[in-house]
Structure 1
Amino acid sequence: MTVSRLGAGRYTDLLDEPEGVETTVHRLTTSDDATVTGVLRVPAGARTVVTLMHPRQDVTHHASVPYLLRDGYAVWTQGSRSPNNDLNLLHEQAIVDFAAGHVRLRDLGFDQVVCLGHSGGATLAAFYCQQAGAAERLTTTPAGRPVPLADTEMPLPDGCIFMAPHPGQGALLLRVIDPSVADESDPLSVDPDLDPFAAANGFVEAPESTTYDAAFVAGYREAQATRIARIDARAREWVAESRAAKKHDDRRRAIAPRVLTTYRTDADLRNVDLSLDPNERPYGSLFGRRPDLTNYGLVGFGRLATAEAWLSTWSANTTNADLARCAPGVTVPSLLLELTGDQASFPADIARFRAALGADDVTVASVPGTHFGGPIAKGAPTGTELAAHVIDEWISRR
């Protein structure tokens, strides 16, 4: 476990796409006149299309794509209006983008449209299904920006696959944010009593698993919630100031961007204490093998966000995109697919999601693998490959 490759293992090797696949790029206009892009790959004779979309990542070359094509399914990979960018990611707009892709696929005449939501894409798919089937859809974001969901055509998919589903961006950030940050303007500020990587609090150097005291864990999690609430307060203050400026026709002040910088968001205790919510995960986080170092680096969730994006996406207290809360609105047949070495979704999460899903037809399955579909051990099949077999079997039964 060397320092030179902190992020090693995050990405898996891609299988080559099969021959004879027709690929087309589609420019879509959403119901609120944004432009997004979808890439459609169609093997000869495919009548079922599997969609992939993530609220903030480009999934054009998702590792599942070649496996789905190999198994004879068309694949639609959808972009949002905020690709690879947390800065102004509003989940209420992202599902408007998602809707445009579903409308196009229905227009193209596929017999069956199946959503595959991986990681944060799972919550996006659940949020989409909840709003698509709602009698009264949301009219604004948590910050009050109007969104045209009521006037958006939102076809329901024929089924949903939730692969390595974490609880949603806001709920996930609540788990991983470092509450020992004493000064939001200083990335190195530390409250020593809450420092997760201090020996005085139980931390031991990698690769040995730490064992935290239960009292420290409880206090740490309470402090995580306190830090989120502190950032919420600043976000609400900025939104209120912008609204006041708009009311007084001070347009420059109303649109002037102020960006929340949230330091140190790779500090989930479970990543270094493998006895907490145990599964088959390796030591380390989603971002690398040494959370005690990557926590201080550039990578991490919600690093830069407008106040609106924070309230819509990153605050567990205000976001509408929470998988457990959206799950009762998912009524289409569903596959809940656990990766047994997941570093962001744990067995208790899978049980909670299963209990919450509103569908009558729910299948729960698990395969060995890490969150991004890597192998559980060196030389083992990848989680992506093993998941593909389960997905093919599940779709074939539809």
Structure 2
Amino acid sequence: MSAERSVPNREPTTPKGVSPRFVGLTTPPKQRAPSGQHTCQGLYWTQDGKPSPKVAFIATHYNVDFSEHYLSGHLAAHGFGFLGWNTRYRGLEDLFILEPALDDIAVGCRWLKEVAGVQKLILLGNSGGGSLMAAYHAKSREVDSYPRADAFVFLSAHTGRPEVLRDWLDPAVIDENDPVKTDPSLDMYNPANGPPYSPEFIKRYRAAQVQRHNRLDEWVKKELKRLNAAGIPDRIFPIHRTMADLRFVDASIEPSDRPVPSCYFGDPAEANRGIGLAGRSSSLLTWLSLWSMQDSKFQFKTFAAQWKVPSIVIQGKADVGVFTSNAGNIFNSLETEDKEVHLIPGGHYFDDSKETFDEMLHLILNWVEKRFPSSKA
């Protein structure tokens, strides 16, 4: 998920001796916009004055700008290329549609192969980008024009956008048009309910989350049908109170090293009352493509059977939004025989300390170098 914190624990750094190259490309049949921008853009990070890397990473997110990804310079400093790549939907998650985004990722992968001279391609599925890059990998098995990856790194990755929104939705919302109206019996921020939460409350709460998600899904389909009958193709709608996972405040639910109460916006109660993080607004078509449990293809279980490449799953035990079960579910679903899972110290960005960041970085480096020992620059 696009976890945005106002102040990181440690500000991301760029090692000396590396620099980025701007890459702007169009995705046919799209052309450059009249104002000048390409369909998709990014930065390709490499070592200064060294031969072109033979192994490169590419990382993309639904919404967040990954061109200056916190790993870009560090992986480049060790001789790898790193393309922080943005699709046409950067900053436009409320309009996101899967198929064009996958075409945009394919354009970036093709550039790495045909222009940058990369021989081995590694997909980095980070945070919400985990399911997006997994969707690309699955599609590349079916479409010959999509360059195929040689390995996959899951880093603090969710299993899918629909599951994230379902698990974060506040089921106490009574009226989708009024963020104030609340069912106190389902309000996780009502002290009478906890924390800690009883098994009965947890069961009832999670069932109500599914019910709210299903109600939204039913409304979207009816509203789209109504608008289309009037010649209107789509519309935007808000989704209120989307920071309400019980795990944000109750450490006894799926215990880990995470601090509680906490979420990516700090205090969960305040975040839930504010402008949300996940799915705070969406077009009807984007809901069906990105958020719907019934219609979205962004659920890892739909990709796992096609998984044949070496893969590593890395998860920080202090992450406040991606939990250890996510890593376990991804790992257990992978069909490849060459797979590893590592639960290590650190939060979502491993910015807790230099030691936690370095452990994560060297875990990736060692894993990749064992599989592609002669392909570095």
Q: TM-score, normalised by structure 2?
A: 0.89
1:190-220 C-alpha deviation (Å, 9 max, x unpaired): 0111011001111xxxxxxx31011111111
Q: Which residue of 2 aligns with 1:53?
A: 60
Structure 1 residue 112: deviation in Å? Answer: 1.3
1:135-193 C-alpha deviation (Å, 9 max, x unpaired): xxxxxxxxxxxxxxx5x721111111000111211110110110101111111110111
Structure 1 residue 8: deviation in Å? Answer: 5.3
Query: Which range moved further: 24-33 or 290-299?
Result: 24-33
- 1:276 equivalent in alignment to 2:253: yes
Structure 1 residue 285: deviation in Å? Answer: 4.0
Q: Which residue among 155, 158, 161 is the counterpart of 1:166?
A: 158
CA contact (8 A) 1:285 1:291 kept: yes
- 1:69 equivalent in alignment to 2:76: yes
- 1:395 equivalent in alignment to 2:368: yes
- 1:360 equivalent in alignment to 2:337: yes
The alignment's C-alpha RMSD in Å is 1.9
Q: Which residue of 2 aligns with 1:37?
A: 41
Structure 1 residue 91: deviation in Å? Answer: 2.3
Partner Cα separation in structure 2 for residue 89 and residue 292 of structure 1: 28
CA contact (8 A) 1:57 1:83 kept: yes
- 1:117 equivalent in alignment to 2:120: no
Structure 1 residue 241: deviation in Å? Answer: 2.7
CA contact (8 A) 1:9 1:374 kept: no
Partner Cα separation in structure 1 for residue 43 and residue 150 of structure 2: 20
Sequence identity, in percent?
27
Which blocks of at least 5 consecutive residues in structure 1 are unaligned?
1-5, 135-149, 203-209, 246-252
Structure 1 residue 81: deviation in Å? Answer: 0.8
Structure 1 letter corresponding to 2:268:
P
Q: Which residue of 2 aligns with 1:154?
A: 146
Partner Cα separation in structure 2 for residue 85 and residue 382 of structure 1: 35
Partner Cα separation in structure 2 for residue 198 and residue 212 of structure 1: 11
Q: Which residue among 75, 78, 81 is the counterpart of 2:85?
A: 78
- 1:308 equivalent in alignment to 2:306: no
2:365 counterpart SS class: helix
Q: Which residue among 174, 191, 203 is the counterpart of 1:182?
A: 174
Structure 2 letter corresponding to 1:75:
F
CA contact (8 A) 1:337 1:364 kept: yes
Q: Which residue of 2 aligns with 1:142?
A: none
Structure 1 letter corresponding to 2:14:
D
Structure 2 letter corresponding to 1:260:
F
Partner Cα separation in structure 2 for residue 80 and residue 286 of structure 1: 27
Structure 1 letter corresponding to 2:149:
P
- 1:226 equivalent in alignment to 2:176: no
Partner Cα separation in structure 2 for residue 11 and residue 91 of structure 1: 33
What stretches of structure 1 move > 6 A for 4+ residues in a row? Answer: none
Q: Which residue among 211, 225, 235 is the counterpart of 2:220?
A: 235
Q: Which residue of 2 aligns with 1:215?
A: 200
Report the CA distance shift for 1:31/1:229 in structure 2 as closer, same or farther (over 3 A): same
2:285 counterpart SS class: helix
1:153 counterpart SS class: coil
Structure 1 letter corresponding to 2:30:
D
Q: Which residue of 2 aligns with 1:87?
A: 94
Aligned residues: 357
Partner Cα separation in structure 1 for residue 7 and residue 41 of structure 2: 29
- 1:191 equivalent in alignment to 2:197: no
Q: TM-score, normalised by structure 1?
A: 0.85
Report the CA distance shift for 1:244/1:8 in structure 2 as closer, same or farther (over 3 A): closer
1:227-252 C-alpha deviation (Å, 9 max, x unpaired): 1111111211122234434xxxxxxx
1:325-367 C-alpha deviation (Å, 9 max, x unpaired): 3222221111111111122332332222112112221122232
Q: Which residue among 265, 284, 299 is the counterpart of 1:322?
A: 299
